[in-house]
A and B are shown apart, each in its own frame.
Chain A
Amino acid sequence: MPLNNVIETKNLSRVFSSGEIKVYALTTINIVIKKGEFVAIMGASGSGKSTLLNILGCLDKPSSGDYFLDGVHINKLNKNQLADIRNKKIGFIFQSYNLLSRTTAIENVGLPLVYDRTGRFSNPTEIAKKALEQVGLGDRIYHKTNQLSGGQQQRVAIARALVNDPALILSDEATGNLDSKSSIDVADLFVQLNNKGKTIVMITHEPEIAQFAKRMIYLRDGFVLTDELIKNRSTKESALKDLEITVQPS
């Protein structure tokens, strides 16, 4: 398998069974995402987005089919190996930030490095500081999470997802809790990071945000409905302009 495939799934399925009832959350998903891609995964609730994200994020294992992350065959890994893979190859961004409360930005950002067992980071504080600068919070390093706005908190979370230099950044409704302006800022930050070569997969149900990505995968009932490149990608400027248009009539 070529190494520039960050994600490769082969006939991936996930079945939940509670008693007699079997729920087919995902059925024969075949996705290949290459290094440097920026993919939006969309779909209605119950379409299997979250299940897919859990498997892509190595938090869950497929019922059948294979999943390769950055060349590693995930199916074969045990719990500890999965934890190590998450630590090494994935940067998570959550809808509700999931930052540690009453903790400074830099401590939050440094959290993945605490669980690094490879010893590849010689100066955690410096690396965390750099990650915060990358998301434009260089002047908020020692602010505690409760002293930051929602948008700023999400950017701290993004810095945390960057700090371990992952192969894949996984965003689960990162803009779900933010206002439109902050959402556009976060989406724009994704674009900037992608421009620097980061591979990003984001789950969203907001079409405006999905429009920032390069490629969109649409799920329905556990199947891939469409998988196509986005033609008219939004930029920060165009999105802000659209925002004004929608606001003006009122």
Chain B
Amino acid sequence: MKQLIKTFKVAFQALGKNRTRSLLTVLGIIIGVAAVIITISAGEGATKQIQDQISGLGTNLVMIYTKTEHRGGSHVRMGKPINERDLDILQKNAVWMSKISPLVVVGVQAIGPKGYKSSAIYGVSHEYFEILNREIYMGNSFREEDVKSSRKVCVIGETIREKLFLDTDPVGRQIRINKIPFTVVGLLKEEGKGTMGQDQDDMIIAPYTTVQNRMYGYQGGYEMILASALSENHIVNAKNEGLELLRESHKILEGEENDFDITTQVELQEITGNITGILTILLGAIASISLLVGGIGIMNIMLVSVTERTREIGTRLAIGARESDILTQFLIEAVVLSFVGGAIGVLLGIIGNQVIYKLTNFHIPTVGYSILIGFGFAVIVGVVFGFFPARKAAKLNPIDALRYE
């Protein structure tokens, strides 16, 4: 034990005597560890952001939509469109769903007093806002009567307000959507960019009846039906219920496949979780390779160092160092290098995360386990790659080593 402490001192002295070399050696480890921490954290950050947005989609969301298929890069509707009949059946019979809203979307041109913008109008029921947790910042959402009598009222997002009204209050004022006058009854609370980078405030929301009856360009059927399950525990029930009712409504026989899709928020979360999980592993693997390269760098420099210090090793052996003393000394040197490199790398990784946040506004929370992986891997790399040069040094024959030129 006492000998180990002395050897530690010797190793530290040796490192201090070769500061430049030591620094260059740890550089690889520093970069490797920082890369591991940043990539893993970035992956986790992205996952969390996506998960947050999905859970922000609305509690207990169930979505029913027409089956689509990718054909030549575009979505093609495969089954029977979801329509009024389906909505009616769901509204009348569903017991596990508390709120139901259809969704129709039409691309429009909106003109306001101060400007215009191309956007999309979302035709929905008054329950849509609750299903998707969209809050109203000013004014109100429209009511059931508005839907029933297909009134020309709408709720707009912040992006639309900015283009059409500049700095003024939009509530109660008129805008023209595809030349049809609408009254703005409410302004959505700002949401910012969505998961895929889409602007969630670039939308106009109006009663679906109004969109169906009055908007030019409406193609019939619904994009989808959105619903809320009674509670989190009933999401599966709601899904199964939706399946049953829709199969009945579409007259699908037993054994036949559905011509529609039904997804819940939970499933969505699982899918994206899987995707981002793979992404994180991939990024981490790439970063690990750089750490491996750093480790080989350590081995390289240590091997050179052993050759360069052959005479020193010979001298140490001659004056009474045991093989184990030399082995420990060189091993400690390698491990200390990787420790220091690891520590600096961790620091750099944390700082890097902050810098990325400042520059891109993409928040990367430094994940605890990324530090553990990065640092742990660095130390393992140090021990493994430090061992071979250390053993080479210890196995030197003192007679030859003393005469080494």
Contacts and interface: CB of A to CB of B under 8 A. Distances in A.
Interface residues of A, number: 30
26 contacts: A79-B322, A79-B323, A80-B322, A80-B323, A83-B317, A83-B321, A83-B322, A84-B322, A87-B319, A88-B320, A96-B311, A98-B314, A98-B318, A98-B402, A100-B315, A102-B17, A103-B17, A111-B316, A111-B319, A112-B319, A114-B7, A114-B321, A115-B3, A115-B322, A115-B325, A117-B3
Contact of B10 (A54, A114, A116): A114
Nearest to A84: B320
A80 B322 CA distance: 6
Nearest to B324: A80
Nearest to B322: A83
B309 to A, nearest CB: 9
Interface string A90-108: 0010101011111100010
A112 B314 contact: no
A160 B319 CA distance: 9
A11 to B, nearest CB: 22
9 closest pairs, A vs B, by CB?
A87-B320, A98-B315, A115-B320, A83-B322, A112-B319, A86-B320, A115-B321, A102-B17, A80-B322
Interface of A: 54, 57, 59-60, 79-80, 83-84, 86-88, 92, 94, 96, 98-103, 107, 111-112, 114-117, 119, 160, 164
Contact of B320 (A54, A94, A101, A112): A112
Nearest to B321: A115
A117 to B, nearest CB: 6
Nearest to B311: A98
Contacts, number: 70
Given A79-B322, A98-B402, A107 B317 contact: no
B399 A60 contact: yes
A92 B319 contact: yes
Contacts of B319: 86-87, 92, 111-112, 115, 160, 164
A144 to B, nearest CB: 10
Given A60-B399, A83-B317, A98-B315, A107 B322 contact: no
Contact of B318 (A92, A101, A102, A119): A92
Q: Give the residue among A102, A111, A119, A164 with the most B Cβ atoms within 10 A.
A: A111
B318 A115 contact: no
Contacts of A96: 311
Interface of B: 2-3, 6-7, 9-10, 13, 17, 311-312, 314-325, 398-399, 402
A105 to B, nearest CB: 14
Contacts of A164: 319-320
A111 B320 CA distance: 9
A113 B262 CA distance: 79
Given A54-B399, A94-B402, A98-B402, A114 B6 contact: yes
Q: Give the residue among B315, B316, B318, B325 with the most A Cβ atoms within 10 A.
A: B318
Given A100-B315, A101-B17, A114-B6, 5 more contacts: A86-B319, A92-B318, A102-B17, A114-B10, A115-B6
B318 to A, nearest CB: 5
Contacts of A80: 322-324
B388 to A, nearest CB: 20
Contacts of A160: 319
Contacts of A94: 315, 402
A111 to B, nearest CB: 6
Nearest to B397: A59
A49 to B, nearest CB: 13
Contacts of B318: 57, 59, 86, 92, 98
Contacts of A86: 318-320
A83 B398 CA distance: 10
Contacts of B320: 83-84, 86-88, 112, 115-116, 164
A102 B19 CA distance: 12
B316 A115 contact: yes
B263 to A, nearest CB: 69
Nearest to B398: A59
A125 to B, nearest CB: 13
B306 to A, nearest CB: 15
B321 to A, nearest CB: 5
Contacts of B6: 114-115
Contacts of A84: 320, 322
A144 B6 CA distance: 21
Contacts of B317: 59, 83
A98 B319 CA distance: 11
Contacts of B314: 98
Q: Give the residue among B2, B315, B317, B323 with the most A Cβ atoms within 10 A.
A: B315
B13 A107 contact: yes
Contacts of A54: 399
A120 to B, nearest CB: 13
Nearest to B10: A114
A102 B9 CA distance: 16
Q: Give the residue among B3, B319, B322, B324 with the most A Cβ atoms within 10 A.
A: B319
Contacts of B324: 80
Given A84-B322, A92-B319, A114-B10, A100 B398 contact: no
A116 B324 CA distance: 14
A169 to B, nearest CB: 12
